[in-house]
Amino acid sequence: MSQEILDKINAAVSEKFHHSVLSAELLYGFPVLTLKHEQAHAVLSFLRNDPEWNFHFLTDLTGMQTADEKDLGVIYHLHNMQKNIRVRIKTFFSIQHPEIHTVTDLWPGANWMERETYDFFGIRFTGHPNLKRILNVDEMDIYPLRKEYPLEDQTREDKSDKMFGR
């Protein structure tokens, strides 16, 4: 069933937005589309407003960083509650220009999710009504979930690595 849904969504998006889908795959039974970031907002708007797809619920939105640390991205989890269909949309852009259009105009609930993603990854959502830090202090000049920052305090001497399986 999930493969059939993935094929239909991919066909509908590819037909309307030529060359916007970079990949369409089924990951752990979950349909996943990876889009060009320039067209992400238009595709998300289509998936939300098209009566066939009707993805009116944004379950989650978060940031990510690729393993090579060169790109950042945003993941959107959408849900059509009437048909109980879910889809994951991913998009990537250069860490040098971490910018993508806000989806608060499509899903007002994205407001805090985008603020959190900005706060921890430094991804700027253009057009966001109030893009400022939500959990970290305003004076913070880093984005702590980027891979360039270590997970642990490197100056600590009170713990042994063998306690942590290293």
pLDDT in tens, 119-130: 999 999 999 999
- Confidence band, pLDDT 50/70/90 cuts, at residue 155: confident
More confident residue, 155 or 75: 75
Mean model confidence pLDDT for the chain: 92
Q: Distance from CA of residue 120 to its chain's centroid?
A: 13
- Looking at residue 20, its amino acid is S
Lowest mean pLDDT among 87-101, 130-144, 147-161: 147-161
Which pLDDT score is estimated for 86?
A: 96
Question: Which of 60, 164, 78, 155 shows the shortest CA–CA distance to 117?
Answer: 60
pTM of this prediction?
A: 0.89
Q: Which residue has the tokens 């042994």?
A: 160
Query: And the tokens for 51?
Result: 């009566």
Angle at which helices 2-16 and 40-49 cross, to 10°: 120
Which pLDDT score is estimated for 38?
A: 96
